[in-house]
Structure 1
Amino acid sequence: MSAPCQPEDVVEMLRDEGLVDLPAGAGADTDLFDAGLDSMAVMQLIVIVEEKWGVALGAADAHRDALGTPARLAETINARR
């Protein structure tokens, strides 16, 4: 099994993909919805997570508690592995 996903991995992926406008000091607790994560970006994020980490996220995961911050998204990814 590969290393667990870390919040820093999520921040790097979000910067690479340009899904949200992360502030310069974005970290584990940055609110992704405040940074521009909307319903279309959530759908793109679900596809990217599956491609990058091999984790299938579904509609039940498309909410703030599961992916509202890099830390929460990393936890969700790791829980689905």
Structure 2
Amino acid sequence: MTSRIPVEPQAVLDLLKTQFDVPADTGVDTEFADLALDSLVLIELGVILTKQCGVDVTGDELATAGTAAKAAELLSDRGAHSTPSAR
């Protein structure tokens, strides 16, 4: 049996900072809307997270989640097998 590894919110935030140039002072509870992340960015983020975590997540689901912390919770709830890392 594979043990579930919760996805850390900071790992999602680090991915946003390195891949999408969000401000360095952004926190895990900063709303994606406040960062002006458009639907294309969220789709791209969803593709990266899907590949890295082994669970499907869409841009729409990330938009609904709204923050790195809630996105990490969503991934963890779906049984993500690892935490995302910056490429």
Q: TM-score, normalised by structure 2?
A: 0.74
Of 41-50 and 24-33, deviating more is 24-33
Which residue of structure 2 lines up, in the alignment, with residue 3 of structure 1? 5
CA contact (8 A) 1:11 1:70 kept: yes
CA contact (8 A) 1:7 1:27 kept: no
Q: Provide the aligned length of Structure 1 versus Structure 2.
A: 77
RMSD: 1.9
- Residue deviations 1:33-61, cap 9 Å, x none? 21121111111111011111111014662
The runs of at least 4 aligned residues of structure 1 exceeding 6 Å deviation read none
How big is the shift at 1:23? 2.6
How big is the shift at 1:17? 1.2
Determine the C-alpha separation between the residues in 2 that align with 1:70 and 1:5: 10
Q: Does 1:74 align with 2:76?
A: no
How big is the shift at 1:10? 0.7
Structure 2, unaligned runs of 5 or more: 80-87
Q: TM-score, normalised by structure 1?
A: 0.78
Q: Which has the higher contact order (CA 8 A, sep 6+)?
A: 2
Structure 1, unaligned runs of 5 or more: none
